[in-house]
Amino acid sequence: MLERKLPEIYAPPESETDQAVDPRAMIAAAALFVRRNFLIGAAVFVACLLCGFGYLKVAKPRYTAVASLYLTKEEARVSVRDDVQPPRVLDVYGLESQMAILRSDSLVRAVVSRLKLDEDPEFGGSSDGVVHSLFSLFAPQAAPDDAQQFELATETVERNLEVSRVGMSFLVEVSYSSASPEKSALIANTIADEFIAEQRQKKLEDQRASGQWFGDRADQLSQQAEAAERAVLEFKQENKIVTVEGNLLNEKQVADLSTQVATARQQSDEARNRLDRISAIDVSDPALNPVDATAPIDSFASPSLKTLKEHYLELSTQQADYARKFGENSGAVAGMRAQIGELRTTILGEVRRLAQAVKGDQEAAAQNLAALEKQLAAAIDAQQAANRAQITLQELDSRAHTSRELYNAFVERSQESSQAESFPLNDARIVSPARPPREKSGPKSMVILALSVASGLVLGLGAGLARDLFDDTLRTGNRVQELIRLPCVALVPRQKGSRRARSLPAPDRAVVRERTIPKGGQLFWGAVDRPTSRFAEAFRSIKLALDLAYPSREHGKVVGFSSALPGEGKTSTSAGFGLLAARAGWRAIIVDLDLRNPMLSNMMAPHASAGLVEVLAGECPLEKAIWSDPNSGVDFLPAGGRSRVSHSNEIVASVAIRRLFYALSMTYDYVVADLPPLVPVVDTRATTAFVDAYFLVVEWGATKASLILKALDAATEVRERVLGVILNKSNVQSLPLYDDLAKTYYVNPDFKRYGYTD
Question: How do residues 134-168 score in pLDDT, each as one tens digit?
Answer: 545 555 555 677 888 899 989 999 999 999 999 88
* 483 residue type, one letter: L
Q: What pLDDT digit, counting tens, does each position of 486-503 carry?
A: 999 999 998 876 444 444
* Cα–Cα distance, 720 to 10 (Å, whole number): 9
Q: Could you count the other beta carbons within 10 Å of the beta carbon of residue 443?
A: 17
Q: Could you count the other beta carbons within 10 Å of the beta carbon of residue 474?
A: 27
Closest CA to 425 of 206, 146, 133: 206
Closest CA to 9 of 691, 712, 726: 712
* Cα–Cα distance, 725 to 697 (Å, whole number): 6
The burial class, CB within 10 Å (0-12 / 13-18 / 19+), for 105 is exposed
Q: What pLDDT digit, counting tens, does each position of 603-648 carry?
A: 999 888 899 999 998 899 999 999 999 999 999 999 987 656 778 8
Between CA 230 and CA 236, with CA 235 as vertex, the angle to 5 degrees is 100
* Cα–Cα distance, 661 to 678 (Å, whole number): 21
Are 294 and 305 a contacting pair, CB within 8 Å? yes
SS3 30: helix
DSSP of 568-585:
SSHHHHHHHHHHHHHHTT
Q: What is the mean pLDDT of the segment spanning 725-746?
A: 77
Residues 6+ apart with CB under 8 A from 527: 535, 536, 539, 576, 577, 579, 580, 583
Is the bond into 443 cis (omega within 30 degrees of 0)? Answer: yes
Closest CA to 657 of 624, 622, 681: 622
Name the phi and psi angles at 431, rounded to 5: -80, -50
> Worst-scoring range by mean pLDDT, 314-323, 324-333, 494-503?
494-503
Q: What is the mean pLDDT of the segment spanning 60-88?
A: 67
Q: What percent of the chain has pLDDT over 70?
A: 81
Are 9 and 720 a contacting pair, CB within 8 Å? yes
Q: What is the DSSP letter of 13?
A: P
Q: What is the DSSP letter of 85?
A: S
Report CA 462 to chain centroid distance, whole Å: 28
Contacts 24+ apart (CB under 8 A), 406-410: 406/221, 406/225, 407/218, 407/221, 407/222, 407/224, 407/225, 410/214, 410/217, 410/218, 410/221
Give me the pLDDT at residue 7, please.
47
Helices 331-422 + 249-279 axis angle, to 10: 170
How long is the chain? 758
> Worst-scoring range by mean pLDDT, 297-311, 572-586, 666-680?
297-311
Beta bridge partner(s), residue 243: 248
Q: What is the DSSP letter of 492?
A: E
Question: What integer best gives the mean pLDDT of the chain?
Answer: 80
* 248 residue type, one letter: L
